[in-house]
Amino acid sequence: MIDTKVLGDKFQQLYGSTPIIARSAGRVNLIGEHTDYNDGFVLPAAIDKEIVFALAKNNSDTCRLYSVDLDDSAEFSISAPAKTDKAWANYVVGVAAEMMAIGAEIGGFDCVFGGDVPLGAGLSSSAALECALANGLNELFGCGFDKLTLVKSAQKAEHNYAGVKCGIMDQFASVFGTAGHCVRLDCRTLEYSYFPLNIDGYKLVLCDTNVKHSLASSEYNTRREQCESGVEILKKYQPEIANLRDVSLELLQAHKDEMDPVIYKRCEYVVKENARVVKACEHLDAGNLEAFGEQMYLSHEGLSNDYEVSCPELDFLVEQTRNNANVLGSRMMGGGFGGCTINLVKEEAIESFVAETAEAYQKAMGKEMKSYTVVIGDGARVEQAPVC
């Protein structure tokens, strides 16, 4: 957990004023991958790893930023917020700009931020950054936006300033997450319910491949376009179809021959994954962890074979669990092309599971594997109390 005293001290040292503290969480996703931008279902949860901002007005036109983790600084003008040549700073520019685009009156501010969400591990460090800042600016400048508006501004910042046409899952979980629960979200209506994570005797363990292949963002946007082109074909038959959420497996199969085989595979994966989320929630509700775990494995197979967003490192880690009686389910998590697998592991076997998997991974891939046992935490919040 990040020490807010360190952030506050750094803030004082750099800018000499007293900040507020705004934080937001990274996330895991139990099941429902690449379904959010198809208006489908997801089952994420906020984790106890966060990005934290120390933030204060500076009554000027200039915003001054400092990243503790990168030991780097940047500036931009709030009256003309434009992308900088630093990718990390553009998330900050983007959130401020997107909030102003819907009417927020934001002036110059200073910020120092850092966190313990591992970067590039598929735990949504970028959503945590965007949401912490959106929440902090909302408080600091009295914008009066509700949580959902902040989520949408953060998502737009990711689209327009990081170039990833993401769905809403990461930002939603980062803001709306609550300790001990996952969030079952309908990405069309944005109706959600908190699901207690009843996995007695088991825990969620993340195995981090320690790789992030460079094609991740471009392939992500391509997947989105492929889904949309599948929908265009089906619309000719059922004009009311807006998204893959509206498509049944029967309808899809009936028009298989009219689709490019790659487009078909992508659409079939999404339609099946949506059904898996519904089933997985029923299993979780009934306490049937074996059946829940099976859905996780099926999800991975679809992501690897049909959606083609896995990679050898992720596939290896999932395969390793197949004959391990202490693991009920395993799948790649998030956008793909690296990052973590999420595993449902018997509590008493976690230590040996991690040690054996890391050893096998090192041997086969020549790389170090990291691991995290998931603790479900709270979403975005602001602390008014000064830190120094």
**184 counts as binding ligand GAF under rule CB under 6 A:** no
Neighbouring C-beta atoms of residue 256, cutoff 10 Å = 11
Is 158 marked within a binding site? yes
**Sign of the torsion angle spanned by Cα atoms 164, 334, 51, 175:** positive
Q: Where are the beta strands (DSSP E) in the chain?
A: 20-29, 41-42, 44-57, 62-67, 72-77, 109-115, 181-186, 192-196, 202-212, 327-332, 338-346, 370-373, 381-383
Closer residue to ligand GAF (CB): 15 or 37? 37
**37 counts as binding ligand GAF under rule CB under 6 A:** yes
Using the contact rule CB under 6 A, the part of the chain among 161-169, 284-292, 316-324, 347-355 near ligand GAF is 161-169
**Among 21, 154, 169, 327, which residue sits at the site for ligand GAF (rule: CB under 6 A)?**
169
Closer residue to ligand GAF (CB): 167 or 230? 167
**Sign of the torsion angle spanned by Cα atoms 310, 281, 227, 45:** negative
Could you tell me the smallest distance in angstroms from the CB atom of residue 56 to ligand GAF?
30
* Alpha-carbon gap, residue 32 to 108, rounded angstroms: 39
Query: Which of the residues 331 through 350 are near ligand GAF (CB under 6 A)?
Result: 334-335
Three-state SS for 312?
helix
Could you tell me the smallest distance in angstroms from the CB atom of residue 167 to ligand GAF?
3
* Catalytic residue of the set 39, 170, 208, 306: 170
Query: Which of the residues 95 through 154 are near ligand GAF (CB under 6 A)?
Result: 124
Closer residue to ligand GAF (CB): 139 or 301? 301
CB within 8 A of 322, min separation 6: which ones? none
**Among 167, 302, 338, 379, which residue sits at the site for ligand GAF (rule: CB under 6 A)?**
167
Is 121 marked within a binding site? yes
In the numeric block, which tokens belong to residue 178?
């609550």
**36 counts as binding ligand GAF under rule CB under 6 A:** yes
In the numeric block, which tokens belong to residue 372?
């995290």
Is 366 marked within a binding site? no
**Sign of the torsion angle spanned by Cα atoms 144, 146, 147, 152:** negative
Closer residue to ligand GAF (CB): 37 or 41? 37
The answer to whether 42 touches 277, Cβ cutoff 8 Å, is yes
Is 378 a catalytic site residue? no
* Alpha-carbon gap, residue 205 to 328, rounded angstroms: 11
**34 counts as binding ligand GAF under rule CB under 6 A:** yes
Neighbouring C-beta atoms of residue 91, cutoff 10 Å = 24
Using the contact rule CB under 6 A, the part of the chain among 136-144, 146-154, 164-172, 271-279 near ligand GAF is 164-172
* Alpha-carbon gap, residue 321 to 312, rounded angstroms: 15
Could you tell me the smallest distance in angstroms from the CB atom of residue 67 to ligand GAF?
21
Residues in touch with ligand GAF (CB under 6 A): 33-34, 36-37, 124, 166-167, 169-170, 334-335
Residues comprising the binding site for Mg(2+)?
A: 126, 158
Residues comprising the binding site?
A: 33-36, 67, 120-126, 158, 220
Active-site amino acid positions:
170
Residues comprising the binding site for ATP?
A: 67, 120-126
